Homo-oligomer: A and B are copies of this chain.
C-alpha cells in the first residue's frame, strides 16, 4: 500500500485503497455485482474487501453486510453496483461512513434521459461538497496492476499483466476489447480506467494523476469529448513536454465526422465539439492524436521503449528490396526524411557487405543476409551522426537466421540511445524472433507501414519536446479605448459594431490598418479622399448593414475627388432606397489596399472551448478548400507560427513562381495580437479580419475589412 506516503492524493483512494466495500456484490453469477466482487477477490487484491448486500449473508465465502454503515472497519473506497434510484441514498451512507472515494459502475443515469441526469447531478453535487472523488457512473471500473495493490475493480473478463502504460477510456465496452487485445498482444498496463459518464472525475483529473504516477510511462486515452478543454491543454503540455519525467500522451477522439459526432452525442448525452477544434487542442497540448485502436497500441509499443530520435532522419536496413521500397514510401508519406548515406558510411558498409548489397537508403543486405550482415550494417548506421534512428526489416527467406538476427538487433538497440524499430514480416516463422525482440524490449511490427508510422510518431513527439520555447507576448495596447467602444455599443444595445468602432478596436490593439475616415456628406468624403491619397474605396457606414456588398454599399478604385463626390452621393442614395430603415452614418473613405496575398484571421468565442482563433488562406477558394487552422487563445509566438505553417496552401505564403515570401513575422504578430484581444476583451463574441492583405517579407500586412460581434 502506498497511500500512507506523505504525498497521498485524493485519487489514491480510487487506485490504492486499503479497504473496499462492494455495494451490490451479488451471489448471482450473471450479475455485474458478482463479477466485480469476484474480480477483486481473485485478482489478488492486497487490502480488505467487504461485500454489501442486504439480501445475502456471504458472497463467494466472504461475510456480507446489509449496509456499508454496518461494516465495523474504516472503508477507503466504495464501489456501487446498485439501482440508479437507490444510488443517492447509498452515496449518502458512504459519506456517513467516511469513505474517501467512490466508483459507480451501475448504469441508468445521464445516458438514459432526463430523470437519470437529475440523479447523476445530485450525486455529483454531493461528491463535490464532501470532496469525495467519484468515478462513473456507467463505467466498467478501474484497474491497478501495481503488485503492492493488485486491484481489478472492474467487470472485465481479464486482469491485464503489469506494464507501464495507463489507459483512460470514455467507453466501457472498448475497455473490454482493449483488455482482450492486450492479452493477445502481450501488452501490460499500469492503471486502467473506465470513466463512464464523468459525473465528477474526468480525463483532466485522471491525466494529472497519471502524470505524477511513478508507475506510468505512457498515457493512452479514448475520448468522446473533453470536459475541460483549456485546462487539458495546460495539463497535457506539462506532462508531455515540461515535466522531469516526460510522458507521451496518445489519444483517440472519436466522433470525428458529423455522423460520428451524432452517434457520440446520442451515446453519452454529451455535446461533441467541432473536430478541428479538438485537433487544435491536441496540438497545443502535445497530445498525439490517433485514429484507430491498433494505431494507439502500435504507438504505445514504440513510446514504451522511451527512445526518441533527435530529428527525423531515418535509415532503413532490410534483407528485401520490395519491403524496403514500401517502408520508404511510408516514411516519406508520414513526414520522415530518408537519411542521406554519406560517402564515408558507404565506404564502411562496402567493406562489410557483399558487392550486390544496395548501399543507398534503404540499405539492402540482400536476401541471403544472416545476422552478421545485420550486425555490421546496423552498428555502422547507428554510429553515423547524420542518422537519427533505424527501421530494420526482416523477411523470412530461406537463409534468414531469424532468432540470431533478433538477438543481434536487441543487443545493438540496447546499447544505443537512438531508436531502433524492427519490422519482422510474417506471423508464424518470425514468431520466435519477435519473442526475442520482446525480451530485448525492441518495438516490432508486422509491416513496413506500421514500423514507419511508429517512427514518425516518436519523431513527431521528439520535435514537440525539443521545440523552441517561446513566450506569450504582451503587446502594449490601448485596452481602455477598446473597452469603451464595446461599452458604448453595449449601452446602445448593438451587437454588430460599425466600421469606425471595429477599426477603432483593431487600432487600439495595434493591427495595421488602411488610412480611413467616415464622412457624413459626399463633399467631406471627397476632401478626405484627397487627404488619404488615391485610389480609395467607398463603403457605406451603418450599424444596421452587415453585408455591405449586398446592398450596393461599396465602390472600389476611385481615382479623383470628383469621382468620390459623385459616387458617394450615388452610394448613399442606393443604400437608402434599398434599406430605408437602416441608420446611416455616412460613407467611409478608405485607402485602397495594394494587391497582396489574402489571408483570413478570425476569433470565435465558444461556450465549451472558450476563444477559438482561426487563421487561413483568403480569396476565392476559401470556402471550397476550407484551408484554415484553429487554436485556443491565448497562444505563444510558436503557436502563431505553427498556425501559419499548418495550412495546406502555406506554399503560397512562402512564395511560388519566383514570388518572394510573405511577411510571416508580421502575420504571426497579428495572430498574437488577436490572441491578446481575445483574452482581454471577453465581450467580443466573434471577429473576422477578411481579408488581411499580406505583402512581401518586411513589408507587413494590412487589414482590408473586418467585422466584430459582441455579446
Contact = CB atoms under 8 A, between A and B. Distances in A.
Interface of A: 30, 32, 35, 107, 111-112, 155-158, 169-174, 176-177, 179-181, 183-185, 222, 224, 252, 254-260, 262-264, 266-268, 291-294, 319-326, 328-333, 338, 356, 358, 360-362, 364, 367, 395-399, 425-431, 446-450, 619-621, 623-625, 648-649, 651-652, 656-657
Given A173-B321, A259-B338, A446-B294, A157 B367 contact: no
Residue of A156, A177, A425, A651 most packed against chain B (CB within 10 A) = A177
B260 A329 contact: yes
A176 B268 CA distance: 47
Contact of A447 (B155, B256, B294, B364): B294
A593 B559 CA distance: 27
B171 A427 contact: no
A360 B260 contact: no
Given A224-B322, A320-B173, A322-B174, A426 B180 contact: yes
A605 B266 CA distance: 55
Contacts of A320: 171-174, 176-177
B264 A325 contact: yes
Please indicate which of the listed interface residues A325, A329, A396 has the most CB atoms of chain B within 10 Å of its own CB: A325
Contacts of A293: 326, 425, 447, 449
A267 B184 contact: no
B396 A256 contact: no
Contacts of A361: 263
Contacts of A338: 259
B260 A426 contact: no
Contacts of A256: 329, 333
Nearest to A108: B356
Nearest to A180: B426
A181 B624 CA distance: 43
A362 B263 contact: yes
Given A649-B625, A656-B624, A254 B367 contact: no
A397 B157 CA distance: 7
Given A30-B399, A177-B395, A262-B328, 12 more contacts: A173-B320, A173-B367, A176-B398, A176-B426, A181-B425, A252-B326, A256-B329, A259-B328, A260-B326, A260-B328, A263-B325, A294-B447
A284 B624 CA distance: 27
A367 B172 contact: yes
B267 A428 contact: no
A14 to B, nearest CB: 21
B324 A263 contact: yes
B260 A321 contact: no
Of listed A30, A112, A260, A264, residue having the most chain B CB within 10 A: A260
B292 A326 contact: yes
Nearest to A356: B112
B328 A184 contact: no
Contacts of A112: 356
B398 A32 contact: yes
A623 to B, nearest CB: 5
Nearest to A36: B398
B177 A360 contact: no
A406 to B, nearest CB: 15
Nearest to A355: B112
A263 B396 contact: no
Contact of A427 (B180, B426, B427, B447): B180
A361 B266 CA distance: 10
A653 B593 CA distance: 29
Nearest to A31: B398
A325 B651 contact: no
Nearest to A294: B447
Contact of A425 (B180, B224, B447): B180
Contacts of A326: 252, 254, 260, 292-293
Contact of A319 (B173, B183, B657): B173
A224 B268 CA distance: 47
A267 B427 contact: no
Contact of A222 (B170, B180, B294, B322): B322
B184 A426 contact: yes
Nearest to A182: B427
B449 A292 contact: yes
Given A174-B320, A397-B173, A429-B158, A328 B257 contact: yes
Contact of A260 (B158, B179, B291, B325): B325
Contacts of A625: 625, 648-649
Contacts of A185: 427
A323 B173 contact: yes
A619 B649 CA distance: 14
Contacts of A624: 649, 651-652, 656
B426 A177 contact: yes
Nearest to A648: B625
Contacts of A358: 266-267
A486 B279 CA distance: 56
Given A263-B325, A321-B268, A446-B294, A657 B257 contact: no
A449 B174 CA distance: 13
B184 A428 contact: yes
B173 A322 contact: yes
Contacts of A651: 624
Contact of A255 (B325, B367, B447): B325
Contacts of A323: 171, 173-174, 177
Given A326-B254, A332-B260, A430 B180 contact: yes
Nearest to A179: B426
A260 B333 CA distance: 10
A181 B395 CA distance: 11
B449 A291 contact: yes
A177 B624 CA distance: 44
Contacts of A621: 621, 649, 652
A448 B222 CA distance: 14
A177 B263 contact: no
Contacts of A322: 169-174, 222, 224, 254, 267
Nearest to A260: B329
Contacts of A431: 184
A292 B174 contact: no
Contacts of A171: 320-323
A358 B111 CA distance: 11
B395 A176 contact: yes
